[in-house]
Amino acid sequence: MKKRTDYSDNQHSILYGETSGCCPLCTQPVLFRKKGSRSLTKGYEVAHIYPLSPTPAQVEALVGRTPPPEINALENVIALCPTCHTKFDKDFKVEEMDRLRRIKDVFLADARARVTAAQYTIQEEVYTILDSIVALDDDLPEIPPARFDISTVEKKLRTGMSPLQKHEIKVNAVSFYVRIRDHIRVLEQNDQLAIRILQNQINTYYLEMQKQHPDNKDAVFNFVAQWISARTGRSMLAAKVLTSFFVQNCEVFDAGAE
């Protein structure tokens, strides 16, 4: 029987932070305050996704599944409330293990993206572009076909992206393209090099996200937008609009990629 690891305070902080304070299965808070107490009490347990010491029934269910290199590694554990942890262990199902694996993989991907985002800077010119997006009113002009080619977006998004995400990008690109393009042209008159650097920065971060998520354009798009929002302190909505513009007008997503 494999020995369970005693996780450090720092490791517990990581596992708690992943959950955003809620059990990922039932969404109940994983910290609580006892009556009359001023301090919070830990209300979660560290659950192994791939079983620590599989029972005979679990061994049979796990045929063909490769255990992780290190069974006690943080990559194979997740914070669950005691009720969900007990249910997962006692009523073990491979489908539920796979569900927890997907949840944990999202947590890990988010953590990698945050670390990567901290390593990439962004030109200050993007601040005024985002502010101009937020300041736009509802009276957006129609875009003459000769000035905007939606086929570029269609080609870039034809594979690897969900229909809803594709629709959002297309609507943003069509609705805001001319306004953003014209604003960037004004900025280029003052400092053309700065805009070229900005385009390269966005393309470089996009390529890094594509390397981390080669088959998930939804994740790539949203991580690029999150990076722009986090770096500038501007809204995620405005960052998504700008990212949609760069899908149309820059190297974000390769039109020839399948």
pLDDT digits (tens, 9 = 90+) for 3-23: 788 899 999 999 999 998 899
What's the pLDDT at 41?
A: 77
**How high does pLDDT run on average in the chain?**
86
Tokens (6 digits) for 105: 């993989």
Quote the Cα angle for 219-248-107, to 5°.
10
The pTM score is 0.73
Tokens (6 digits) for 80: 């669950």
Cα 32 to Cα 138: distance, rounded to the nearest angstrom: 45
Residue 236's contacts (CB-CB under 8 Å, 6 or more residues apart) are 225, 226, 229
Cα 224 to Cα 222: distance, rounded to the nearest angstrom: 5
Percent of the chain at pLDDT > 90 equals 41
- DSSP lists the bridge partners of residue 47 as 78
Residue 211: exposed, middle, or buried by beta-carbon count in 10 A (0-12, 13-18, 19+)? exposed
User: Residue 145 — pLDDT band, cuts 50, 70, 90?
Assistant: very low
CA within 13 Å, CB half, 235: 8
Cα 255 to Cα 258: distance, rounded to the nearest angstrom: 8
Domain ranges in the chain are 9-117, 123-249
Tens of pLDDT, residues 183-220:
888 888 888 888 888 888 988 998 899 899 888 889 99
Is residue 138 predicted with pLDDT exceeding 60? no
Cα 47 to Cα 226: distance, rounded to the nearest angstrom: 29
